[in-house]
Chains A and B, each alone.
Chain A
Amino acid sequence: MNEQRFRLFAGGRIDRERAVRFDFDGERYTGFAGDTVASALLAHGVHLVGRSFKYHRPRGILSAGAEEPNALLQVGRGAYTLPNQRATQVELYAGLSATSQNRWPSLRFDAGAVSSLLSPLFPAGFYYKTFMWPPSFWLRHYEPLIRRAAGLGRSPTEPDPDRYEKMHVHCDVLVVGAGAAGLAAALSAGRTGARVMLADEQSEPGGWLLGSKTAIDDAPAVEWIASALEDLRSMPEVRVLPRTTVTGYYDHNYLVALERVGDHLPPGTGGARPRQRLWKIRARQVVLATGAHERPLVFRNNDRPGIMLAGAARQYVNRYAVRPGESAVVVTNNDSAYPAAIDLSDCGMQVHIVDVRSRPPEAMAAAARQRSIEIFAGHALVAAHGHARVREVTLASLDAARTGYTGTPRRLSCDLVAMSGGLNPAVHLFSQSRGRIVYSPERGCFVPGESVQAERSAGAANGTFPLAYCLSEGREAGKAAAAAAGFRKRGGLRSPKVEGEREQPAEAWWISPPSRAGAPLNKHFVDFQNDVSAADIALAAREGYRSVEHVKRYTTTGMGTDQGKTSNTNAIAIISQTLGVDPSQVGVTTFRPPYTPLTFGALAGRDIGELADPVRTTPMHDWHLAHGAAFEDVGQWKRPWYYPAAGESMQDAVDRECLAARNAIGILDATTLGKIDIQGADAAEFLDRIYTNGFRKLAPGRCRYGLMCGEDGMVFDDGVTARLADRHFLMSTTTGGAARVLAWLEEWSQTEWPELEVYFNSVTEQYAVASISGPFARALLEELATGIDLGPEALPFMSWGEGRVAGIPARIVRVSFTGESSFEINVPSDYGLYLWTTLMRAGARYGITPFGTEAMHVLRAEKGFIIAGQDTDGTVTPDDLGLGRMVSRHKDFIGKRSLARPDCRRADRKQLVGLLTEDPQTVLPEGAQIVDRVLPRPPMKMIGHVTSSYFSANLGRSIALALLRGGRERHGERVVLPLPKRRVAATVTAPVFYDEQGERLRA
């Protein structure tokens, strides 16, 4: 067991009573509750935790938070494993198992590191310049090589055992970030009675204060945090969400946050709770108090393990009670590193300060010197030395121009470098809200410009760094946000007292000059994860990739999993230096959601697996199941496809079903067809405009088959519509097209013809429908129906009537898709199963046979009835289908103008025809193409294709429907269809194979 040699005896937010065991790369360690994996490893003196992407350089822990580019681990085992987890954010739990990534065979001895030796050959964008010769090598050799090097961690290889949930909430004020400014904002907004949400990504609120020794109201800051939280808890409208990262800021103050509900617990122990919860928040007002990220300084080998951000070093000391080494060099261009140096010294480290400014802040410097910390003012770090851990640094005095050194460089041995290049306000969400960020030369960083949405930034996120100002700015922002949301309270909130900090200005200084003029800057790293050096950035600019976006894409800076939180500003500064322009002229890249990576599973929520899409079944579904139906997915519906009896093949079953429908009775569950109830004074007028054929003159009690076209004049759906009353219609649509048709009707009604009084309602699920067809269908129905005359005169084809069937109120519609005399019996859904079983029982003596969609397709094809979407494909006009007579010349309708276009009137358009194969047993595959002439090999000119094709038991042969160029003129011609391994000849016919006069269906 390893020891926590670097753990301090007192202080910190960890619970020394609760030891937590974990392992890293197979070694066992123990940390404490409250640790992150990073802090626990540092407590054991472990700094080397990973390898970089391109050069496989050893990497340590740079930060203590979300900005971490280096310390990425594979965490968890088996189905629970997670790649690319930032050690700085993963909370320790018992049994946690982590491994380093992107190394082989081990972290210390990584074979991939040879690429580091070859690094002179691999500047930014090298792959665009090579791997082109010989051409055949790219796909077979070069690319596989590149791919082998791709990626960091590993994907799980099993399905996710966890569950994710979503929450939708509204609030008056959303405060993002619970640091000093955010807490102050939540307090002042909360006391007005506004509904406030305060979200923070960390396990406990407090932000930067948790890692500082600052006093507020003469007490440690953590006490102020505790009392602030207590106040917030006493406000019933305030909700505090820890472990919740606001990741996206969309239009209309719509924000998305991810709450990590169970990630800090051992996998699989969260019980009924989800692993993560996605909050979708509509906020009246937003306060962004997201703090700031510290910038690294850019010097040679600034990526060695043991080199971390000064603020992070401070967090490890104060929040996690870890001494991050024995001997530290603190290097800075601003004041904030001084308290860090003092904290490091106070925990027993030997400390040197290197301040690039020639005049360090007096009071702070005095405090440092009191602790015998030596200060090198006007100096910079030339380089760090060491491999798996920094051992030593070289520093030198900067010359007057600050582009080179004077005097003799000095070496200092150390095992920690704490660096601070100043702070970058976390403007990510602000930028996502479409606010423009602007460069502030005084502060040397990008700050939020004017707000675009109902939002205000406060504290460090706004470029306001001193604590006293953070608190007051937060308080004002919270108050103003609440007021803007309509909540006010008289009387001010008292300002907490903090020690004054007068800061010296930071120096806008980014990068150490090379040790000698002209030496390369190829180990001066800017983007750690992707190994982008200052030389790479300068190269990009030199080669013409000057826009920040070009530099980013060419060098990959800022494209890592940290999205450049620590590198972007440095990169911009270096571009501006290379091009000799001001950073404000370089511009910034757009910050895109999410702020930190967002779990796919959380975005999907519960809409996966069985719930991926609702399964729709009819009231008769259980009967179909019990009778062995095979099902077909049609839209969201499960429809019986065919009902195989014992020992039957699919073809056997379909043949039997088809024969029964023509010779006895076939019964089909037609519930799934879309049913849209249409009412209103202008309903008839509306339908007249929607359908190609007329509906105004349709008499109540009658039905009509209608065709619907798009604006382009192409058939888009079809179905029978019944006129129930003068202002009342019931439209049926295809099963798959129902939702689309309803949306179509609504769109035209709402956006184009709002003057028409017409209303739509989907009633598909209100009615169950059994359709019986065949010579005995009427006889059967007459046995069961009361109160309705079913005779062909009283209820002719294309009419409907009401009565009772088996005692159930029913609407009986005489339509037929099979070509037989048919009765469609509509009953309230709840009676569907009863109706069905009653029909089956009573129909037994007529040989009633249930048939599925396959037999239905065969039967309708025998009659040449089309299926929209199968025999049409969005390029077929009514006339192409031989339905030109359904296109009214006397009224306007959607698509009419398009049908007048010359191309729609060409005689050689593709038209619906029948095909009869020469060999009656050969069934053409659907989708087979008809060519004008068969050639030994492609290309061949295609003139049509098979849309529907079946073996018809009733006809004792195969039949097919096809769309064929000029097909109507070709009846009787022979065509050939080349198939992958054979060719089939067929004769073109009219697309009707059975009962051409329609006597049976009218009977």
Chain B
Amino acid sequence: MKYSIFSLLRNAFSYHENWPAAWRSPDPRSAYDVVIVGGGGHGLATAYYLARNHRITNVAVLEKGWLGGGNTGRNTTIIRSNYLWDESAHLYEHALRLYEGLSRDLNYNIMLSQRGVLNLAHNLGDLRELSRRVNAIRLNGIDSEILNPAEIKAMVPILNTSPSSRYPVLGASLQRRGGTARHDAVAWGLARGADARGVDIIQNCEVTGIRHSGGAVEGVETTRGYIRTKKVGVVVAGHASVLAEMAGFRLPVESHPLQALVSEPIKPIHHCVVMSNAVHVYVSQSDKGELVIGAGIDAYHSYAQRGSLPVIEEQMGALIELFPIFSRLRMLRQWGGIVDVCPDASPIIGKTPVRNLYFNCGWGTGGFKATPGSGWVFAHTIAHDTPHPLNAAFTLERFTSGALIDEHGAAAVAH
């Protein structure tokens, strides 16, 4: 059933009791053409674009818990494409463009909210770095501009721009097309779209082994039985290294907890996203009224989806530095996800030492903004057994060739 104001009206008469399921809950079949491991946004987007762009529909998405329950459902939903290096800029910009049409494409409102993303500079080094980035981003044809403190104040009047603060705000870069989207809606809309095109989305189905012989993949062992398949795409974020181990190779990925929190809902007072690397915190306000706040990873490695308190305490100090008026507000919920961090803070999207086994991981603290773009190029990679031009540089081999794409600057404050 197509979603629209008219279908809502029509269904109001039957007390909304006739809405069909957004996706089926099928039992796994014994074989598929392609199995996608991981029902997060990236896995679902991969399945969706396999079906939509490549007409490959005999596909299963296997999710060990509930779809969208990993980092997709835990992130702070910041979307932007202002990355430094050409390879990243093109990939993230492609994703942002897809996001801009995604609600209509999926017929599911993902509530993309392009109210602008500000990155603050607090010292001369920050300013220098900022202008380098803005110049590079603009020369890549992506919108980006620099604001001075007065312009920042005009845009975010509640921000502490006092020159006497510990680390005064000296400037900011702004991407107006940046903003947020509703994370659950992205996962659900993609799941509904993939399901409608024939993809089986199988929840509560954990992959426990990857079978291969003669160097090529044959199938996956799961908690719901063995599934034969010609190709496997693995998109499991923080658990990428676990799956790689099942397949018999290692990834240059470290898994860390990353935390976030929200305040109680308050009437709208903060309209864009403000991020600061130096006074380490970022904050936006959701359409529900909650302030959504994040900062950096927990330093230790872990697969447990929770973090430690000191990280939150520091984050709150930074928040109040930037927004002194928020001091009396309260933290409503705090949670963590496990992020997969590559040495160069860029993802790995492509082939692996095992034939027909593909990995998409290493998005670390910032992969939500890439979701549709990541699925688009990964679907292409799986369908053609060769990368899309946009992900050609994001190979696993780059760690042996040295052709790294260092985006630490873009990921200094995790988001």
Of the candidate stretches B1-9, B214-222, B243-251, B383-391, the one touching chain A is B1-9
Q: Contacts A601-B327, A938-B141; is A130 near B113 (CB within 8 Å)?
A: no
Are the CB atoms of B22 and A927 closer together than 8 Å?
A: no
Are the CB atoms of A121 and B8 closer together than 8 Å?
A: yes
Are the CB atoms of B16 and A535 closer together than 8 Å?
A: yes
Of the candidate stretches B183-191, B224-232, B352-360, B367-375, the one touching chain A is B183-191
Are the CB atoms of B103 and A132 closer together than 8 Å?
A: yes
- Smallest Cβ-Cβ distance to A130: which chain B residue: B5
A593 to B335, CA, bound (A): 8
Are the CB atoms of A904 and B402 closer together than 8 Å?
A: yes
Taking A131-B109, A143-B111, A926-B132 as known contacts, 16 extra A-B pairs with beta carbons closer than 8 A to each other, sorted by chain A number, are A132-B109, A138-B103, A147-B268, A150-B265, A556-B288, A563-B332, A594-B334, A597-B263, A601-B327, A603-B312, A712-B343, A870-B128, A898-B402, A927-B131, A937-B141, A942-B139
Q: Is A851 an interface residue (CB 8 A)?
A: no
Q: Is A869 an interface residue (CB 8 A)?
A: yes
- Smallest Cβ-Cβ distance to B114: which chain A residue: A139
Task: Give the Cβ gap from A174 to chain B, nearest Cβ, in Å.
Answer: 16
Are the CB atoms of A129 and B166 closer together than 8 Å?
A: no
Q: Contacts A121-B9, A130-B109, A554-B184; is A83 near B24 (CB within 8 Å)?
A: no
A713 to B8, CA, bound (A): 59
A633 to B169, CA, bound (A): 12
Of the candidate stretches B28-36, B46-54, B314-322, the one touching chain A is B314-322
Picked from B86, B317, B409, the residue with its CB within 8 Å of the CB of A608 is: B317
Are the CB atoms of A599 and B328 closer together than 8 Å?
A: yes
Picked from B16, B108, B329, the residue with its CB within 8 Å of the CB of A155 is: B329
- Smallest Cβ-Cβ distance to B262: which chain A residue: A559
**For B286, what are the chain A residues with a Cβ–Cβ distance below 8 Å?**
150
Are the CB atoms of A939 and B265 closer together than 8 Å?
A: no
27 contacts between A and B (CB under 8 A): A83-B264, A128-B182, A138-B112, A139-B113, A139-B114, A139-B115, A147-B287, A150-B287, A153-B264, A154-B269, A157-B325, A251-B308, A520-B17, A522-B15, A539-B19, A547-B65, A553-B73, A598-B331, A599-B329, A600-B316, A603-B312, A603-B316, A612-B167, A613-B167, A898-B402, A928-B131, A945-B132
Q: Contacts A544-B23, A612-B317; is A592 near B334 (CB within 8 Å)?
A: yes
Q: Is A542 an interface residue (CB 8 A)?
A: yes
Picked from A542, A634, A937, the residue with its CB within 8 Å of the CB of B17 is: A542
Query: Chain A 121-152, CB within 8 Å of chain B: the 1/0 string?
Result: 10100111111110100110001001110111
A606 to B167, CA, bound (A): 16
Picked from A152, A522, A928, A940, the residue with its CB within 8 Å of the CB of B289 is: A152
Interface residues of chain B, those whose CB is within 8 Å of chain A, are 3-5, 7-9, 12, 15-17, 19-25, 65-66, 69, 73, 86, 103-104, 107-109, 111-115, 122-125, 128-136, 138-141, 158, 165-167, 182, 184-185, 188-189, 203, 263-269, 279, 285-289, 306, 308-309, 312-314, 316-321, 324-335, 343-344, 398, 400-404, 406, 408-409
Q: Is A546 an interface residue (CB 8 A)?
A: yes
Task: Give the Cβ gap from A736 to chain B, nearest Cβ, in Å.
Answer: 8
A603 to B261, CA, bound (A): 12
Q: Is A404 an interface residue (CB 8 A)?
A: no
Interface residues of A in 147-171 (CB under 8 A from B): 147-148, 150-160, 162
A881 to B239, CA, bound (A): 38
- Please indicate which of the listed interface residues B112, B312, B400, B408 has the most CB atoms of chain A within 10 Å of its own CB: B312
Are the CB atoms of A150 and B289 closer together than 8 Å?
A: yes
**For A609, what are the chain B residues with a Cβ–Cβ distance below 8 Å?**
165-166, 321
A184 to B326, CA, bound (A): 40
Task: Give the Cβ gap from A146 to chain B, nearest Cβ, in Å.
Answer: 5
Q: Is A94 an interface residue (CB 8 A)?
A: no
Are the CB atoms of B188 and A561 closer together than 8 Å?
A: no
Task: Give the Cβ gap from A35 to chain B, nearest Cβ, in Å.
Answer: 23
Are the CB atoms of A926 and B317 closer together than 8 Å?
A: no
**For A600, what are the chain B residues with a Cβ–Cβ distance below 8 Å?**
263, 316, 319-320, 326-331
Picked from A139, A598, A926, the residue with its CB within 8 Å of the CB of B330 is: A598
Task: Give the Cβ gap from A606 to chain B, nearest Cβ, in Å.
Answer: 9
Q: Is A66 an interface residue (CB 8 A)?
A: no
Picked from A126, A157, A561, the residue with its CB within 8 Å of the CB of B332 is: A561
Task: Give the Cβ gap from B154 to chain A, nearest Cβ, in Å.
Answer: 17
Are the CB atoms of B124 and A632 closer together than 8 Å?
A: yes
Q: Contacts A545-B22, A601-B320, A873-B406; is A151 near B268 (CB within 8 Å)?
A: yes
A84 to B226, CA, bound (A): 51
A916 to B326, CA, bound (A): 49
- Smallest Cβ-Cβ distance to B19: which chain A residue: A543
Q: Is A901 an interface residue (CB 8 A)?
A: yes
Are the CB atoms of B123 and A128 closer together than 8 Å?
A: no
**For B330, what are the chain A residues with a Cβ–Cβ distance below 8 Å?**
84, 597-600
Across the A-B interface, the 7 shortest Cβ-Cβ residue pairs: A151-B289, A901-B402, A903-B402, A927-B132, A597-B330, A160-B327, A927-B131
- Please indicate which of the listed interface residues B203, B286, B334 has the most CB atoms of chain A within 10 Å of its own CB: B334
Task: Give the Cβ gap from A252 to chain B, nearest Cβ, in Å.
Answer: 10
Are the CB atoms of A129 and B3 closer together than 8 Å?
A: yes
**For B401, what are the chain A residues with a Cβ–Cβ distance below 8 Å?**
901-903
Q: Contacts A256-B309, A592-B333, A610-B166; is A870 near B104 (CB within 8 Å)?
A: no
Are the CB atoms of B266 and A280 closer together than 8 Å?
A: no
Q: Contacts A904-B402, A938-B140, A938-B141; is A152 near B109 (CB within 8 Å)?
A: no
Query: Chain A 238-279, CB within 8 Å of chain B: the 1/0 string?
Result: 000000000010110010100000000000000000000000
**For A84, what are the chain B residues with a Cβ–Cβ distance below 8 Å?**
264-266, 330
Interface residues of A in 538-585 (CB under 8 A from B): 539, 542-547, 549-550, 553-554, 556, 561, 563
Task: Give the Cβ gap from B405 to chain A, nearest Cβ, in Å.
Answer: 9
Are the CB atoms of A121 and B12 closer together than 8 Å?
A: yes
Picked from B4, B112, B313, B343, the residue with its CB within 8 Å of the CB of A607 is: B313
Q: Contacts A133-B4, A592-B333, A901-B402; is A148 near B320 (CB within 8 Å)?
A: no
Q: Is A106 an interface residue (CB 8 A)?
A: no
Are the CB atoms of B328 and A592 closer together than 8 Å?
A: no
Task: Give the Cβ gap from A641 to chain B, nearest Cβ, in Å.
Answer: 8
Are the CB atoms of A553 and B136 closer together than 8 Å?
A: no
Q: Is A798 an interface residue (CB 8 A)?
A: no
Are the CB atoms of B320 and A604 closer together than 8 Å?
A: yes
- Smallest Cβ-Cβ distance to B84: which chain A residue: A873
Q: Is A874 an interface residue (CB 8 A)?
A: yes
- Smallest Cβ-Cβ distance to B318: which chain A residue: A612
Are the CB atoms of B104 and A135 closer together than 8 Å?
A: yes
Q: Contacts A130-B5, A153-B266, A153-B267; is A942 near B124 (CB within 8 Å)?
A: no
Q: Contacts A159-B327, A603-B331; is A874 near B406 (CB within 8 Å)?
A: yes
- Smallest Cβ-Cβ distance to B299: which chain A residue: A743
Q: Contacts A600-B329, A632-B123, A902-B402; is A612 near B321 (CB within 8 Å)?
A: yes
- Smallest Cβ-Cβ distance to B179: which chain A residue: A139
**For B21, what are the chain A residues with a Cβ–Cβ distance below 8 Å?**
542-544
- Smallest Cβ-Cβ distance to B9: which chain A residue: A121
**For B316, what are the chain A residues with a Cβ–Cβ distance below 8 Å?**
600-601, 603-604
Query: Chain A 707-745, CB within 8 Å of chain B: the 1/0 string?
Result: 000011110000000000000000000001000000000
Q: Is A615 an interface residue (CB 8 A)?
A: yes
- Smallest Cβ-Cβ distance to B5: which chain A residue: A130
Picked from A157, A250, A615, A925, the residue with its CB within 8 Å of the CB of B309 is: A250
Are the CB atoms of A605 and B313 closer together than 8 Å?
A: yes
Picked from B165, B279, B328, the residue with its CB within 8 Å of the CB of A82 is: B328
Task: Give the Cβ gap from A591 to chain B, nearest Cβ, in Å.
Answer: 10
**For A903, what are the chain B residues with a Cβ–Cβ distance below 8 Å?**
398, 401-404
Q: Is A875 an interface residue (CB 8 A)?
A: yes
**For B269, what are the chain A residues with a Cβ–Cβ distance below 8 Å?**
154-155
- Smallest Cβ-Cβ distance to B335: which chain A residue: A592
A925 to B146, CA, bound (A): 13
Q: Is A984 an interface residue (CB 8 A)?
A: no
Q: Is A788 an interface residue (CB 8 A)?
A: no
**For A549, what are the chain B residues with a Cβ–Cβ distance below 8 Å?**
66, 69, 73
Interface residues of A in 909-934 (CB under 8 A from B): 925-929, 931
Task: Give the Cβ gap from B342 to chain A, nearest Cβ, in Å.
Answer: 11
